Amino acid sequence: MADKGPVQSFHFPLFMTMLHLAVIFLFSALSRALVQCSSHRTRVVLSWTDYLRRVAPTALATALDVGLSNWSFLYITVSLYTMTKSSAVLFILIFSLIFKLEELRAALVLVVLLIAGGLFMFTYKSTQFNMEGFALVLGASFIGGIRWTLTQILLQKADLGLQNPIDTMFHLQPLMFLGLFPLFAIFEGLHLSTSEKIFRFQDTGLLLRVLGSLFLGGILAFGLGFSEFLLVSRTSSLTLSIAGIFKEVCTLLLAAHLLGDQISLLNWLGFALCLSGISLHVALKALHSRGDGDPKPSKGLGSNPDLELLLRSSQPEEGDNEAAEEEDFVAQG
């Protein structure tokens, strides 16, 4: 059996998560500065009242979801994690209905049941059960349902001005870091300070490799977070969760191919069932969009998100000015 690398034997998931949050905040701050320089428009900065009242619940739920998910990998396998995490689709549907972000439809319930059931079949009897890890992932799935519904509200509320994923990540990361710090201090602080991997390190090269790997993970987390927030801002949290199921299935297939895990006929049937649920959701979305004709804004949600990314200038403002001039010309005529 091959020896584990320095990061594979790094048993501090909360510290890793907090380092990733710091990297995401750094890159989002730099991205905001680049956008502001290129567009000459001041980026949104929320007041303390809005920040604590609107952003804090989302940040705390996100921190707990990510932290508990990473923590669970100390106890369980990828298969058990994926199987349990698939329940997040059901929690997201429940909270989306509670917050009236989705309408209860039989087809929507069928999609969720197909995906959840298919993913369960795909990972059936391919895991080593661990109660502690299972509880951590199940808690993360429940909190994830709250997290993504609150994130959808946060991103699509026009009055907050956080439609750009960069601005959202910039505001979320500090509170997420503070929310995880007590858990880190209680469960990992002492062990980290006395471990040879970090504070009592003896091999500088090993330390640099560990920190470099964690920093690279933070960059990948920044890209993943940006794409997730961008998708939620344009669609819904349920769509994001269903799209993520396809990623999980691909991960399991690669793990089975690379690690030599055996996949039974029942597992393959579950895989087909899961893909059928995803395909049904895509088809329903396409039919719903075609039936609507012109896109309509959601109830109470922003209909014109400011998605400048990193290169967009102040074209929307110029377009608004030209429209206003045309209206004045017509009125005078």
Band (pLDDT 50/70/90 cuts) for residue 295 is very low
Nearest C-alpha neighbor of 93 from the set 71, 70, 118, 113: 113
Top pLDDT among 175 and 246 is at: 175
Domain ranges of the chain: 10-198+214-291
pLDDT score recorded for residue 299: 42
| Contact in structure between 170 and 30 (CB atoms under 8 Å) | no
**3-class SS of residue 270:** helix
Report d(CA 237, CA 102) in Å as an integer. Answer: 10
Mean pLDDT lowest among 52-66, 145-159, 303-317: 303-317
Q: What is the pLDDT of residues 19-57, one digit of tens each?
A: 999 999 999 999 999 988 888 788 888 888 888 888 899
Q: What is the mean pLDDT of residues 315-323?
A: 48
Which tokens in the block code for residue 41?
Answer: 């428009």
Top pLDDT among 317 and 200 is at: 200
Whether the per-residue pLDDT at 67 is higher than 60: the answer is: yes
Q: What is the mean pLDDT of residues 69-81?
A: 77
pLDDT score recorded for residue 162: 81
Full DSSP string of 88-112:
HHHHHHHHHHHTTSS---HHHHHHH
| pTM (predicted TM-score) | 0.65
pLDDT score recorded for residue 256: 67
DSSP H helical segments within 40-130, as ranges? 48-50, 56-72, 78-85, 88-98, 106-122
**3-class SS of residue 128:** coil
Q: Which residue has the tokens 């604590």?
A: 52
Report d(CA 294, CA 216) in Å as an integer. Answer: 42
Report d(CA 184, CA 236) in Å as an integer. Answer: 32
Q: What is the pLDDT of residues 265-282, one digit of tens each?
A: 777 787 778 778 777 776
| Contact in structure between 284 and 103 (CB atoms under 8 Å) | no
Whether the per-residue pLDDT at 326 is higher than 70: the answer is: no
pLDDT score recorded for residue 252: 67
Nearest C-alpha neighbor of 92 from the set 36, 147, 128, 145: 145
**CA distances (Å), origin 147, targets 10, 32, 55, 106, 151:** 27, 24, 11, 24, 6
Whether the per-residue pLDDT at 3 is higher than 50: the answer is: no
Top pLDDT among 291 and 11 is at: 11
Report d(CA 255, CA 257) in Å as an integer. Answer: 5
The three-point CA angle 228-231-237 to 5° equals 80
Mean pLDDT lowest among 12-16, 85-89, 113-117, 257-261: 257-261
Q: What is the mean pLDDT of residues 177-185?
A: 87
Q: What is the mean pLDDT of residues 282-288?
A: 72
